[in-house]
Amino acid sequence: MARIALITGGMGGLGEAICIKMAALGYQVVTTYSPGNTKAEQWLASMKEQGYDFRAYPCDVASFESAQECIAQITREMGPVDVLVNNAGITRDMTFKKMDKVNWDAVIKTNLDSVFNMTKQVCDGMMERGWGRIINISSVNGQKGAFGQTNYSAAKAGMHGFTKALALEVARKGVTVNTISPGYIGTKMVMAIPNEVLESKILPQIPMGRLGKPEEVAGLVAYLASDEAAFLTGANIAINGGQHMH
């Protein structure tokens, strides 16, 4: 039986690259999309044309009940989840002075609460089966902070605290828990940044002088999900072109 890999928010730039990489390695790939996303069917169809038979389920990752229903349905229809990639995330950038409770809550719920909501549904099963991979997609800005991102940086740093504590609890059960912290990757979200800002502010901070590629992060996810990575747990792996070293 092919292992089942669930990638949350798999229809975005990075999520899509992870889905494609995992499928190429023989995983049965499942993803989630926000309820009300009208382009989900279109995305699945375009992936099918490229030869990828992905399954997608609506899930509000910020809601525990929605996560519960979604994973129950996946388990019924596909089988238990072996690899969970917590990739779904949003930004609501503004200075702390301007930040209101609504924009704080939205980012914490979608980026951090979601990690609890999704992991809670699959972790016990992984432990019982004696094999599992939980991979949390954080950000360089969770490590070094970013102007206008108190909400996002807090959520992304919180992800790694979760990783370390859970890794300790499940280490003897064949389940690993790790964090990946990408820098600036050439996704739609980053490409939306005005070109002059990229050229003058962001690229000069990156020793490699370029944005990362989604495929480069996907390759790291694939390694962490592999049998070879069985001794690697509780780690935060930075993949940022040398922008932030620690």
User: Which of the following is catalytic: 27, 33, 57, 152?
Assistant: 152
Active site residue 27: no
SS3 content of the chain, % helix, strand, coil (to 5): 50, 15, 35
Q: How many CB atoms lie within 10 A of CB 167?
A: 19
Short-list 137, 160, 134, CA closest to 89: 137
In whole angstroms, give the CA distance from residue 18 to residue 16. 5
In whole angstroms, give the CA distance from residue 144 to residue 99. 20
Q: How many CB atoms lie within 10 A of CB 65?
A: 9
Residues serving a catalytic function are: 152
